[in-house]
């Protein structure tokens, strides 16, 4: 099962992807996490990507596509299937993804759009904290950790991403609503689009998402 999960920053992609992994036993691949890990490791890819990420801009398509296809085509991932979180973000990336998968005789089965209004996204992003060890996501208002500043799951410290602060938030949302939103038409034209109302409680969204996805996949 190969799924693209897309939605604006703060729409709950990472959280819902984890729920899908628990249900469908496939891999969760987050392009943002891969870039951040590469930066932590001090690699050239991480260094180049970091300058774009800090400004709230997209990393160029050629760099992103190469990195993601390399990951997706690893045998264990190709075998179990994957949920893509944060990739593709442009039509060019979506086309490159389709072409890369076609070479392996595979394809995207379904694309899920998590729909959340912009005002709610800004509220969520400005309250978002991430754990240092495994990027588990919390929100000071809607999903606080049991102990302030500490991850419930692995006990690591929580931090606020620099691109969740100040003008980078608005810039990232502008890019999403002008560019990434075009994926709606791309996947609708392929008859592979599931539209999910993401402006609800986490558990309500995941119950609806899993039910609709199961129905969709058994068509």
Q: Which residues bind ligand AMP (CB under 6 A)?
A: 9, 31-32, 35, 52-53, 56-59, 64, 86-89, 93, 163, 172
Shortest distance, position 215 Cβ to ligand AMP, whole Å? 27
**Catalytic-labelled residue, pool 13, 19, 36, 124:** 13
Is 13 an annotated catalytic residue? yes
Is 128 an annotated catalytic residue? yes
**Catalytic-labelled residue, pool 55, 128, 188, 192:** 128
The single residue listed with the structure tokens 């980078």 is: 168
Is 161 an annotated catalytic residue? yes
Choice between 125 and 209, CB closer to ligand AMP? 125
**Catalytic-labelled residue, pool 19, 36, 124, 172:** 172
CA angle 192, 198, 202 (to 5 degrees): 120
**Catalytic-labelled residue, pool 19, 36, 89, 124:** 89
- Output the six-digit token pair for 17: 């992807």
**Catalytic-labelled residue, pool 124, 161, 200, 215:** 161
Choice between 63 and 216, CB closer to ligand AMP? 63
Shortest distance, position 69 Cβ to ligand AMP, whole Å? 12
Using DSSP bridges, classify how beta strands 128-131 and 137-139 pair: parallel, antiparallel or unpaired.
antiparallel
Buried b (16+ CB within 10 A) or exposed e, 100-132: bbeeeeeebebbbbbebeeeebbebbbbbbbbe
Choice between 12 and 88, CB closer to ligand AMP? 88
Choice between 5 and 110, CB closer to ligand AMP? 5
Choice between 37 and 57, CB closer to ligand AMP? 57
DSSP letter at 36?
H
| Structural contact between residues 5 and 85, judged by C-beta atoms closer than 8 angstroms | yes
Question: What whole-number distance in Å separates Cα of residue 159 and Cα of residue 65?
Answer: 28
Question: Residue 20, SS3?
Answer: helix
| Structural contact between residues 117 and 212, judged by C-beta atoms closer than 8 angstroms | no
Question: What whole-number distance in Å separates Cα of residue 42 and Cα of residue 38?
Answer: 6
Shortest distance, position 100 Cβ to ligand AMP, whole Å? 14
Is 36 an annotated catalytic residue? no
Is 106 an annotated catalytic residue? no
Residues that are catalytic: 13, 89, 128, 161, 172
């Amino acid at each position: 099962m190969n799924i693209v999960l897309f939605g604006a920053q703060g729409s709950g992609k990472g959280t819902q992807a984890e729920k899908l992994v628990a249900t469908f036993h496939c891999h969760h691949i987050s392009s943002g996490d891969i870039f951040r890990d590469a930066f932590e490791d001090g690699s050239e890819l991480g260094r180049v990507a970091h300058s774009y990420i800090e400004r709230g801009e997209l990393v160029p398509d050629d760099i992103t596509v190469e990195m993601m296809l390399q990951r997706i085509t690893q045998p264990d991932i190709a075998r179990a299937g994957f949920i893509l979180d944060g990739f593709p973000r442009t039509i060019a990336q979506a086309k490159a993804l389709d072409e890369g998968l076609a070479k392996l005789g595979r394809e995207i089965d379904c694309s899920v759009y998590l729909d959340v209004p912009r005002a709610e996204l800004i509220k969520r992003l400005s309250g978002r904290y991430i754990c240092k060890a495994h990027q588990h996501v919390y929100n000071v208002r809607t999903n606080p950790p049991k102990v302030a500043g500490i991850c419930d799951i692995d006990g690591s410290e929580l931090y606020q991403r620099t691109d969740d602060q100040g003008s980078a938030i608005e810039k990232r949302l502008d890019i999403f609503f002008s560019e990434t939103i075009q994926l709606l038409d791309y996947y609708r034209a392929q008859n592979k689009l599931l539209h999910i109302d993401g402006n609800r409680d986490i558990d309500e969204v995941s119950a609806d998402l899993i039910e609709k996805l199961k129905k969709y996949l058994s068509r």
